[in-house]
Amino acid sequence: MNAPLVNVETSSGYWKSLLRWGVSIGLLALLFTRFDFTTILHVCLRATPAFFVGALLLYLLSQVLSALRWCNLARGIGFRATFAECLEYYTIGMFFGLVVPSTLGSDAARALYLGEAPPGRAAAFSTVLFDRLIGLVMLAAVAAVALLGPHADLPVALELGVVGICLSLTAGWFSVPWLVRLLPPEQRWRRLVEEELLPFFRDRTLLGTAATLSLCVHLIQIVSQWLLTWSLGLNVPFGFVAMYHPLVALAAALPLTIGGFGLREAAYAALLPYGGINADDAIALGLLWWAVAAIGGLGGGLVYGLSSRALPSLRSNARR
């Protein structure tokens, strides 16, 4: 297996990071000039602690299941890591994803740890890549189903457009092994699939388990998000939460900002008013969701501090 296509911090990467910082700051500045920051802060502070803690616990459970999904993928292609080890790497990755807004974030950190053992660094990065992609694809599937439900009160044209995109993405993902054959043999994306991802597609049980765990993760996070709406005293139907949360998560996953900052809050402000939630409450809800994820990341920092494992070098043993 050849070394995976991994971006390393270069001058190009530096300028991309700088641009993403600029987009994040610009979007946040725009939001806070249009909406009253003091009001948003007061909305956040009125959150009921019990519901917030419940949302946090569910979020942490979703991360445990995410670690299990990644562990299954790793073991499926020859790694002998235990679930406890994968959970440790995953939580440490959560910490680095919080404090290192660059390519050396959560995904790279856990791949570096896993890649210390055979079959090596390249295979470890492929497990992380596939884990990330299948999570996003199943999130798109959840969004499409939720948009077809009775609580999706978005404009019809927007609903149909998003449903079409999400369903095409989902169908296209599971057709990837066949679709890439239409590309030239040396084309970058064809090589990426055939050299790094094809083993996961060939194992139908492994693929089905990963997809099922992804659905469980997303459903748990939707319930967690629903509890956050309760913490703010918002009367939001569960179906509407199931609609907007995947769309916000997909927007935040776009590589346009640092950690989704700005884009995530803008998506909350744009989507939630369709459910009768004013923009101040919507932005506050987005900030609370970030706080839940941040607390989870800080928990990963505690694991990292107590661990005897130093973060492996990105450059060492890069072609194991």
pTM: 0.85
Q: Please check the confidence at residue 225 and state whether its pLDDT lies above 90.
A: yes
For 144-172, letters b (16+ CB in 10 Å) and e give bbbbeeebbebeeeebeebbeebbebbee
- 2 falls within a domain: no
Sign of CA dihedral 69, 72, 73, 79: positive
pLDDT of residue 319: 42
Q: Please check the confidence at residue 320 and state whether its pLDDT lies above 60.
A: no
Distances in whole angstroms, Cα of residue 228 to Cα of each of 28, 70, 98, 106, 264? 21, 27, 21, 25, 16
Q: What is the pLDDT of residues 167-218, one digit of tens each?
A: 888 888 888 888 888 888 888 888 888 888 888 998 999 999 999 999 999 9
In total, how many domains does the chain have? 1
pLDDT of residue 152: 60
Asked if residue 86 lies in contact with residue 74, where contact means CB atoms within 8 angstroms, the answer is yes
- 240 falls within a domain: yes
pLDDT of residue 3: 43
Structural domain range at position 256:
12-306
Higher pLDDT, 27 or 235: 235
- Residue 7 carries which side chain, given as an amino acid letter? N
Both ends of the chain: CA-CA distance in Å? Answer: 9
Q: What is the pLDDT of residues 98-149, one digit of tens each?
A: 776 554 578 888 999 999 999 998 899 999 999 999 999 999 899 888 887 7
pLDDT of residue 209: 96
pLDDT of residue 5: 40
Distance, in Å, from the CA atom of 131 to the CA atom of 252, rounded to the nearest integer, reads 17
| Token pair listed for 27 | 């979007």
- 247 falls within a domain: yes
- 134 falls within a domain: yes
For 11-29, letters b (16+ CB in 10 Å) and e give eeeeebeeebeebbeebbe
- 265 falls within a domain: yes
Q: Among 289-293, 296-300, 314-318, whose mean pLDDT is lowest?
A: 314-318
- 320 falls within a domain: no
Sign of CA dihedral 55, 57, 60, 62: negative
- 311 falls within a domain: no
